[in-house]
Structure formats: C-alpha cells, structure tokens
Amino acid sequence: MSPIKKITVQDIEISVSLQNDNEDYICLTDMVKAKDGDDHIRNWMRNRNTIEYLGTWEMIHNLNFKGVEFDTFMHEAGANSFNMTPRKWIEATNAMGIISKAGKYGGTYAHKDIAFNFGMWISPVFQLYVVREYQRLKDAESNPMLGEWNVKRVLSKVNYTLHTGAVKDYIIPKIDIERQKLYAYADEADLLNLALWGCTAKQWRDANLEYAKKGLNIRDMASINELVVLSNLESFNTELIKREFDKSARYAYLREIAQSQLPRLNAIDAEKGFRAIKNNKNKQLT
C-alpha cells in the first residue's frame, strides 16, 4: 500500500492513501470507527441513491466498468432484500472508486469524491470537517510554507502546555474558592486574547455567531502571524506568572509585545517571497 497520511476530524484519525493514478483514497472504515463501521458502510451501499452515485462516478472515471451489472444493481436497489458490500460491488462491476485492503492499514477506502459523499450520509457537519481537514492536508503538501506553519502549530501547543502548567503551579494553589479554580485557566487564556485581539473568547463568539455555530473559535480563525505572536505571548506570560507579576502588570507587558510584534510580522509577506523563489526555480528547471 502507498504511504499513509492522516487527518483528524472531530478527534477521529482518518487514513488517506495514494492509489490509482496517484489519487487520494480516504478510509471509510476510519470515518465510522467510533460506530459499527461495517454495518454503516453496508447500509450506505444499500441505498439506491448511493448505487446511482457510485455507478455514475465509475462511468465517468473507469473505462473498464461493467455497466450491465450496474444496471442490475440499480434495478434491485431499494428493495428490502437488497444487500451490497464493498467487495461485492468491486468484484461484480470491476469498480475502481472503492478499494478493500487487508493488513495493518486495512479497511474500505474510497476515492475522495466518494468518501465525501459517504461523509454527507453520516452527517453534513461531519462531511464539512472532513473536507476542511483534507484540504488543509493538500495545502500543506503543495506549499512548504504551510508545512512550516504546521511546525509552528506544534510549537504553539507546546507553549500552551507550559502556560497551563504555570497557571496550575503558581495561580491555582492561591485560589481558595473551588468555583474560581475552574475559571483560572480560562481567565489566563482570555488575558492573552485581550492582549492580542482586544476581546475575550466569549465576546468573539457573540460577535461571530455563524462561525461559533460551526464550532470555530477565535484561534481557529486567526492568521499565521497572529498565532505566532500568541505562541510568544504564552511563553512570556509563563515566565511572568512564575515571577508572580499581578494580572494588570502582565496584561500591560503582553499588550505591548503584541502591538510590537504583530505589525512587524504583517509587514513581511513571507509567503509571497517564497512563491517568487519557487517560481524562479521552476523556470530554471524548465
């Protein structure tokens, strides 16, 4: 099997593999591994609309597709006695849009077009997140700058761990009221939000209801430069907490840093410069 890549959708890790003609195939088994995977895939394939979609996809992309067998399935689909599995579909019609694999990364894989259709059958919201994460994967593959951005995201998470650790060690022990302890982490996160964006997470959600309904937050919608600054603020705030600076003093320092760093980063169009270098290299190769 081709090298496996991974995307994570709503805490579910989904495999993506290159197959026919270097096309991406997404693991349907992974998409429903929190449920009864085989039953969900079979139930989806029993649906008449699914059979019509699969057959049309094959007729467009597969010169060796067996249309006569497809017509038979279309005639039977929808009846209570009709049953369909990935292997039966593949063997009967010589389909290439769905692949069954055995072994460590085994399961039922489908071309991304078909996988997105399956995702919609599971849940429209889930399908949107699958498409989003898949596109993020492709963007990172096609643009090394975004690959570098993935590293920055990891570093940001590391800094976040250090930051919450400082809150736990230096702030929580001084809080006597149990209810206040629950909000200590959120308060510190909002201190950073206020320093960088001038609003709390709740204020952002109230002002951006459509994004909030989709489960997105202020940090999901942030630019690369903003998240780099946020990562720096987390590191600096960690040290200020350890040195027992009060919250008002820390906010003043953090706000000053944000207002200093962000304009400098925004003034540097690094991605544009990279594209120029990449295009120049392509011309040399040509």
Residue 13, pLDDT > 50, answer yes
Q: How far apart are CA 57 and CA 96, in angstroms?
A: 10
Q: Which of 35-39, 88-92, 124-128, 163-167 has the lowest average pLDDT? A: 163-167
Domain residue spans in the chain? 4-136, 143-276
| pLDDT tens digit sequence for 52-108 | 999 999 999 999 999 999 999 999 988 888 999 999 999 999 999 999 877 666 789
- Other CB atoms within a 10 A radius of the CB of residue 117 amount to 18
Q: Which residue has the higher pLDDT, 71 or 272?
A: 71
Does this model's pTM top 0.85? no
> 138: closest CA among 120, 150, 127?
150
Helix (H) or strand (E) segment spanning residue 257: helix 247-266
Beta carbons within 8 Å of 62's beta carbon, 6+ residues apart: 94, 95, 96, 97
> 20: closest CA among 51, 63, 73, 70?
63
Lookup: tokens for 109: 């894989």
Lookup: tokens for 165: 């650790």
| pLDDT tens digit sequence for 103-158 | 666 789 999 999 999 999 998 999 999 999 999 888 777 765 455 445 545 555 55
Average pLDDT, the chain: 79
